[in-house]
Each structure stands twice: as structure tokens, then as C-alpha cells.
Chain A
């Protein structure tokens, strides 16, 4: 069964600290992996999209890594800010016969405290 599992489920950190969110997937065949940030009551916003051949991708203080062999990805947030408080969703796109299939993780809820 195609699945995407994220950990931890929730996380609280102090402002200025770094953190790493994890995403493990079993989606096959694999097309790409995305990380989205979703503020409460808002739509998700894309942070990164990585294909099979990409190991690392950065977007400001956000750095995503991908290990396609072990089917693992991580999202590292550097020098966290209060505005980083949000849900972070890992989404894996897999090929299927009549178009791509998106499988969503349950998300990690991050709270940054001052």
C-alpha cells in the first residue's frame, strides 16, 4: 500500500533553534516529493519539490533532503522564527497508468515559542 509517514506528530521548539522533520514513504514508482507549509486556516504553500535525482534542495531557512534508496526525506528548519509555527506536510507523487498519484502525509505540527 502506498503510504507516507511523518514524524514527529508535533513538536515545540524555542525561537532561534533548529529542528528536523522526517518523512518516510513507500510510494512506488516514485515521481517527486514535496514539502508544504500550512498555516492554520490557510491553504498549503509549497516549500520544495524534489525528483529522484535530487538529494538536497533549499528555500531560505528550509532545507529538504531526499534519499530515494531508503525512501526517506527530511526538512530542516534553521534559526526558527515564530512565523514558522504551522503544519508541515510531506507529499509524494507516484506514477500510475493514467496520471500521477499524490499521497499525503498526516503532517507535523510545529510550534515555535518565544
Chain B
């Protein structure tokens, strides 16, 4: 059974640019959630999507957005990048809604903003 796949694994951007990250969940999983991990702040919840609808949102500015497609694949976008956006972005999938069950994480997309 294939795990959660995130692309790209590594990317470098400059301030002011935008970036789109992709996440393919485990087959059959309908919930995808996104997280930011930095050395200073640790893991922080960004948002959760279930059945193409955002169901839950963390405390991040509107520059961070996402969407989910009918096949449950999800993308997150960060616009007007800032140096502080440099982080490991992780997505996780689960079968049900509400992050109540077990989460299966991908390997992450490491973003460096110069």
C-alpha cells in the first residue's frame, strides 16, 4: 500500500515569490491535513481538508491557502513568501474527518526562502 506522497521534496524560492506544494494521500483516505515544522516553533497545524472542503484551520495568515481535489489529492499555496516561511511542510492523511484517527505523514517538502 503506497504511503503519503509529497512533491517536491526540496525547493528554494526568493522572498515575494509564491509556492505550491502537492500531497497525494493514501488510497481511500479522504482527509488531508497540512503542518509547518520549524526548529523554533516545532510542528504547527495549518489546515485540514475533507471531501474538498476546508474543515479546520490553524492560526496562519491568509497567505497560506490550500485546496483538495475530488480524488483527495491536496495542494497548499504560500504567496508573497517571507524568510520566516522557510520550513518543512508536512501533510498527513487519514480515513475520517476531524483529525480524530491515526494520521499518516508524508516525508515533507523542505522549503528554503532566500
At the interface, yes or no: A42 with Cβ under 8 Å from chain B? yes
A45, B105: Cβ atoms closer than 8 Å: yes
List of B residues within 8 angstroms of A28 by Cβ: none
At the interface, yes or no: A106 with Cβ under 8 Å from chain B? yes
Chain B interface size band reads 20 to 34
List of A residues within 8 angstroms of B103 by Cβ: 34, 44, 46
A96 to B59, alpha carbons, bound, how many Å? Answer: 14
A105 to B106, alpha carbons, bound, how many Å? Answer: 19
At the interface, yes or no: A60 with Cβ under 8 Å from chain B? no
Residue among B99, B101, B104, B108 having the largest count of chain A Cβ atoms under 10 Å = B99
Number of interface residues of A (CB under 8 A): 23
At the interface, yes or no: A78 with Cβ under 8 Å from chain B? no
A104, B42: Cβ atoms closer than 8 Å: yes
B56, A99: Cβ atoms closer than 8 Å: yes
The B23-47 residues at the A interface (CB cut-off 8 A) are: 42-45
The B56-110 residues at the A interface (CB cut-off 8 A) are: 56, 90, 92, 97-108
Q: A interface, by DSSP: helix, strand, loop or mixed?
A: strand
B42, A93: Cβ atoms closer than 8 Å: no
B44, A43: Cβ atoms closer than 8 Å: no
B43, A104: Cβ atoms closer than 8 Å: yes
B4, A43: Cβ atoms closer than 8 Å: yes
At the interface, yes or no: A49 with Cβ under 8 Å from chain B? yes
Apart from A43-B105, A104-B45, 5 more pairs, CB < 8 Å: A31-B100, A43-B106, A89-B43, A99-B55, A104-B44
Mark B residues whose CB is within 8 Å of A. Answer: 4, 42-45, 48, 55-56, 90, 92, 97-108
19 contacts between A and B (CB under 8 A): A31-B100, A36-B105, A42-B107, A43-B92, A43-B105, A43-B106, A44-B103, A46-B102, A93-B100, A98-B55, A99-B48, A99-B97, A99-B98, A99-B99, A100-B56, A100-B98, A104-B44, A106-B42, A107-B42
Which 4 A-B pairs give the minimum distances between C-beta atoms? A43-B105, A99-B56, A104-B43, A106-B42
